[in-house]
Amino acid sequence: MTRRYLFTSESVTEGHPDKICDQISDTILDALLTQDEQSRVAAEVVANTGLLLITGEVTSQAHVNYIDLARQKIAEIGYTNSEYGFCANSCSVLVALDEQSPDIAQGVTTAHESREQMSEDQLDAIGAGDQGLMFGFACNETPEMMPMPISLAHRLARRLAAVRKTGLLPYLRPDGKTQVTVVYEDGRPVGIDTILISTQHAPAIGEITAAAAIQEKIKEDLWEAVVQPAFAEIDIKPDSQTRFLVNPTGKFVIGGPQGDAGLTGRKIIIDTYGGYSRHGGGAFSGKDPTKVDRSAAYACRYVAKNIVAAGLAEKCEVQLSYAIGVARPVSILVETFGTGKVEEERLLELVKQHFELRPAGIIQAFNLRRLPAERGGRFYQDVAAYGHLGRPDLDLPWEKTDKVELLKEALKEPASVAVG
């Protein structure tokens, strides 16, 4: 019997209050790492009507103007008009930063393995910045090997921001949310059940002032300018049975930090797999790469994507766990949900043999401390909105599939006992 079900994921635009905070946190990280690659950063941001608070812990030799950085990012996002209730030039910006705890720093700077003289390997020199567990996932539902619901939700959100910034739909304002419900049959996407877009907008559109007429105009424009382009490269399209909902409350004029307070790290499901895969609970933004919440989650995605790209599974989820101050993972799990072409024990052995999963090794493999020169000091802030994973618009090191041939060749060899 065919099993038919629905799965939904959401995304938000860069003007969403939580995403404003994520982007400012990562803008601060970019600026600090540009001047000092050894910066230890845990930058948290809170936003509310007319107010931005930057807090957390920073230990760095860099000298940056946090207030200027925040205002520049707010303006770039699009909050440049005081009518929006939050404006780059007029909001208050408060800074309350401390240094990293020395108790944490000693375990990160000199890992447990090095202190116990277990290894002279330089990659054992850096311990994990905290305990915790991380997940990574990949599947063959989309070209970027992401689940279709979150992939489509991000496409809509990026397009929603683009038509605002280019002036194609000038009445749109920065805050917005998207949501897509995909129809599945026996684990494969077969249709689009519902598309939902909530977008902040001006009180009037030209001569149109009646609320109902404004919403009808927005719905027509979004279908043509946002939905159709977002689905252009996707085989599965909306059809006559697809519901299309726009601003279901009737209007969305008050938004951004004026409508809701924002906070760094409150959109962790949007940042990852849209709920399709498990999540370890740790947020990404504002954290330097010694924080395994971030760097190890990227490594998990890298492992899972290479396994799927090599044709060894249709779906793959990888879990890592760490102890604070210890370099090597406490545990590694590979799960293929019955889609694997190879036994999971064999895949686990290949992962241990061919992927570097210690914090220093991950940092080195992905070059997470040295920001690409061609990006002009921008790196982490660019993944702080529209997802950290599966980004076809960005060249991200953890999205590479450069281990595919190695994995295929390794499977030709007899299985052996892996160490570590």
The per-residue DSSP string of 181-215 comes to EEEEETTEEEEEEEEEEEEEE-S-BTTB-SHHHHH
* Residue of 158, 266, 388, 403 marked active site: 266
- Mutual orientation of helices 66-77 and 17-35 as an angle, nearest 10°? 130
Both tokens of 401, joined, read 């599939």
**Active site annotation includes 352:** no
With beta carbons less than 8 A apart as the criterion, state whether 205 and 171 touch. yes
| 57 in catalytic set | yes
Q: Which of helix, strand or coil describes residue 89?
A: coil
Structure tokens at 327: 């370099």
The yes-or-no answer on residue 44 being catalytic is: yes
Instruction: Give the active site residue among 135, 252, 355, 366.
Output: 252
Q: Which of 291, 328, 358, 403 is catalytic?
A: 291
Kindly give the confidence (pLDDT) of every residue in the chain, 420 residues in length, as a single tens digit, with 9 standing for 90 and above. Answer: 789 999 999 999 999 999 999 999 999 999 999 999 999 999 999 999 999 999 999 999 999 999 999 999 999 999 999 888 899 999 999 999 988 655 555 555 555 554 455 455 666 667 787 889 999 999 999 999 999 999 999 999 999 999 999 999 999 999 999 999 999 999 999 999 999 999 999 999 999 989 899 999 999 999 999 999 999 988 999 999 999 999 999 999 999 999 999 999 999 999 999 999 999 999 999 999 999 999 999 999 999 999 999 999 999 999 999 999 888 999 999 999 999 999 999 999 999 999 999 999 999 999 999 887 667 789 999 999 999 999 999 999 999 999 999 999 988 876 554 433
* Of 7, 14, 19, 314, catalytic: 19
Catalytic-role residue among 10, 18, 175, 382: 18
Query: Is 408 part of the annotated catalytic residue set?
Result: no
Is 293 among the catalytic positions?
A: yes
291 is catalytic: yes
Q: What is the pTM of this model?
A: 0.92
Look up 261 and say whether it is catalytic. yes
52 to 89, 234, 263: CA distances (angstroms): 12, 39, 10
Catalytic residue among 177, 294, 328, 358: 177
Catalytic residue of the set 44, 141, 288, 335: 44
Strand pairing report for 51-59 and 92-98: parallel
Given 73, 154, 267, 388, which residue is catalytic? 267
**pLDDT given for residue 243 in this prediction:** 98
Tell me, what's the pLDDT at 223?
97
Q: Please say if 267 is a catalytic residue.
A: yes
The Cα 117–Cα 230 span in angstroms is: 54
Active-site residue, selected from the candidate residues 10, 113, 293, 349: 293
Is 165 a residue of the active site? no
Other Cβ atoms closer than 10 A to 383: 21
**In the annotation, is 18 catalytic?**
yes
Catalytic residue status for 210: no
Q: Is 130 annotated in the active site?
A: no
pLDDT for 375 equals 74
End-to-end CA distance of the chain: 44
Exactly one of 260, 278, 346, 352 is catalytic; which is it? 260
| Strands laid side by side in the 315-322 sheet | 132-139, 315-322, 331-335
341 is catalytic: no
Confidence at residue 419, expressed as pLDDT on a 0 to 100 scale: 39
Catalytic residue from among 40, 201, 287, 328: 287
Compute the Cα dihedral for 79, 80, 85, 86 and give only its sign.
positive
Give the CATH number of domain 4-11+148-254; options: 3.40.50.12160, 3.30.930.10, 3.30.300.10, 3.40.50.1110: 3.30.300.10
